[in-house]
Structure 1
Amino acid sequence: MTAPAPPPVGPARPALIADIGGTNARFALVDEAGAVLARERVATRDFDGPVAAARAVVARHAPDAPPDRAAWCVACPVTGDTVTLTNHDWTFSISDARAALGLKTLHVVNDFVANALAIPDLAASDWVAVGPDGPGQADAPIAALGPGTGLGVALLVPEGAGGYRALATEGGHVTLAPGNADEAAVIARLWETHDHVSAERLISGPGLLLLHRTLRALGAEGPFHESPDAITAAALDGNDPLAARAVAMVFALLGTVAGNLVLSTGALGGVYILGGIVPATLPLFRASPFRARFEAKGRFRDYLAGVPTRVVTHPNPAFLGLNRLLRTG
């Protein structure tokens, strides 16, 4: 007896990757090789949750071949099935979202886990070195951090045969330490209204705005600005010394935090700076005290001197990391 022929196999369905932040969610439909078939950015305020946003994107770009698997990263801790964004009011269940979208699998990770997972797949043209640029220690962890709406921090740990494991952290909420009297004065002023001044309190977009206003409150003279973008634009223009001072102080504080992170974790494989702020202000960052403060650890200056620090300029490294997550699970 002849066995019946197997049913014809249709074209492979795409996967849906998403980088979900407090303000925007960036979606892309990708094929099995990770090539982007369609992409769209939506405002989180326009939807009541990621399922509604995903349905709208799929309806516009793949109504006849909806995705059957997905990988999302979110700007918040992921510790169980329920996910609540830190800087937005979206809350969702991973299992419910998977079922609602008809997915076989849905991976959800912290956004800086996705950024860290991108690092092995970055080309040399996807980053710019700041300071000495050696190869880093091959068998050591790599640190990924960067300011945006908040301050994301993650580690990438080598795991044999070219594999890597990304570790989520909440390193953006470590207690912020001053590196000089000016920073100490700013932090002391903030203690009047905040019981804990974290790294993210000042090393972020909202933090830059708070820092600028605190400097003015402490007597510094300069124009008032309504947003972090206005401050960085004024600093880049070169005609606003206070804006330039505020941006430089944020980058100096970032150097302190990055150096502390390497000392605490042994991330001698390198430090990769991501997020929206630094790549957009790269000339200011390269001229800032960041690298000097990174190395300013007294007797352990030499320990840090050989660690490369690189700014990632890839337009969306989280998508690279999410594609890696789809491949490796």
Structure 2
Amino acid sequence: MNNNDKKIVNLIADIGGTNIRLAQANAQSESQYTDIETYQCAKFASLIDVIALYIKNKNIADTCINACLAIACPTDKDIISMTNLPWEFSQKALIAALNLNSLTMINDYTAIAMAIPLLNDNQKVKIGGGETVAQMPIAVCGPGTGLGVAHIVPISSNGKSQWHCFSGEGGHVDFAAVDKLDMQILQHLKTNLARVSYEQLLSGYGLEQIHQAIIAINGQDKVSLSAAEISQQAVSGKCPVCKQALTQFCKVLGSFAGNLALTLNCQGGVYIAGGIAPRFIDFIKNSDFRVRFEAKGRLSNIPKQSPTYIITEPQPGLLGAAALLLQR
């Protein structure tokens, strides 16, 4: 039996440093994916072992498998080495070992970006004003372990309206200080860093560095807190320094997100993803996030038009991988 005679299975995955989530893309499913399973990466020697187990458990070995795998690292070469796992593999070897009909490897933020047009009001929270302009570019950034960035633009293919993603390393552009505290934090970070990117502030360790910088600026005794502890104490109001750190984090995030709105005239919206921002949505709403987002001088009309959202969908990577695979 050749592949033309076999049942087609659209296999998708969201591969992180701790967990890998596998599922099957299904246009008839409300969420566009079914049969989700989560595995702990540390329990497996390789990516092939995990996917092979899923294929076996779901009894889909004798099918025509088209796979789209989202992974948190560059995917433009055959050999892929994961940053936070000792997994290195060849895409060609993966196809051969798992007998795949096709394989598409995408960056995790490509997947998240592709999920955005599918999000409903229960999967996102609007921050501030602005209204979506249809068929305009959309940007997404996500403070988490690092700072992910991607853009999607509408295209027409074979008479159908679709989306194309431009991924990159936008989180590593130079940090631009806006107010006095930004400048003081920048000077503090430059005592140890030759170059300060936005990721040095807009990430888990970035929030920690903002906190440490403010302590040093204030001449206080050093206190080491995790990003989760800083945000918790800021939201609860227990620690003024933590509140100041999180407040500045929100300001810097607003400035960066506003820069993304300008880059491709993203009047389709700018979305905040990642594991950090959803923890303190109300704090962001009450911060100067949107003020800094809109403060772009002569071109402030663009970010003022652009709405901003925090993504609350728990599996945007799978949703986006499904969207891309079904679109193709």
Structure 2 length normalisation: TM-score?
A: 0.88
Aligned pair 1:153/2:149, yes or no? yes
Equivalent residue, structure 2, for 1:210: 209
Superposed displacement of residue 77, structure 1: 2.1
Q: Secondary structure at the match of 2:67?
A: strand
Q: Please list the CA deviations of residues 107-159 of structure 1 after superposition, one character each: whole Å capped at 9, or x if unmatched.
A: 110111111111111112221111114122x2321111111111111111110
Contact 1:222 1:240 in 2 (8 A): no
- Cα distance in structure 2, aligned partners of 1:150 and 1:321: 20
Greater relative CO, 1 or 2 (CA 8 Å, sep 6+):
2
Structure 1 pair 139–229 and aligned structure 2 pair: CA distance change class (3 A): same
- Cα distance in structure 1, aligned partners of 2:272 and 2:166: 16
Greater shift, 251-260 or 29-38, is seen at 29-38
Q: Secondary structure at the match of 1:152?
A: strand
Structure 1 length normalisation: TM-score?
A: 0.88
Q: Please list the CA deviations of residues 156-185 of structure 1 after superposition, one character each: whole Å capped at 9, or x if unmatched.
A: 111024211011111011011112111111
Structure 1 pair 229–259 and aligned structure 2 pair: CA distance change class (3 A): same
Contact 2:139 2:152 in 1 (8 A): yes
Equivalent residue, structure 2, for 1:298: 297
Q: Which runs of 4+ in 1 moved over 4 A?
A: 59-67, 220-223
- Cα distance in structure 2, aligned partners of 1:23 and 1:310: 26
Aligned with residue 21 of structure 2, among 12, 23, 26: 26
Contact 1:16 1:67 in 2 (8 A): no
Q: Secondary structure at the match of 1:318?
A: helix
Q: Secondary structure at the match of 1:69?
A: strand
Q: Secondary structure at the match of 1:323?
A: helix
Superposed displacement of residue 13, structure 1: 5.6
Equivalent residue, structure 2, for 1:70: 67
Greater shift, 153-162 or 65-74, is seen at 65-74
- Cα distance in structure 1, aligned partners of 2:213 and 2:84: 22
Equivalent residue, structure 1, for 2:122: 125
- Cα distance in structure 2, aligned partners of 1:64 and 1:140: 41
- Cα distance in structure 2, aligned partners of 1:123 and 1:130: 15
- Cα distance in structure 2, aligned partners of 1:123 and 1:238: 32
- Cα distance in structure 2, aligned partners of 1:111 and 1:236: 29
Superposed displacement of residue 253, structure 1: 1.0
Q: Which runs of 5+ in 1 are unaligned?
A: 1-5
Which runs of structure 2 are paired with 1:88-99 in the superposition (5 Å)? 88-99=85-96
- Cα distance in structure 1, aligned partners of 2:14 and 2:46: 13
Superposed displacement of residue 46, structure 1: 3.1
Aligned pair 1:265/2:260, yes or no? no
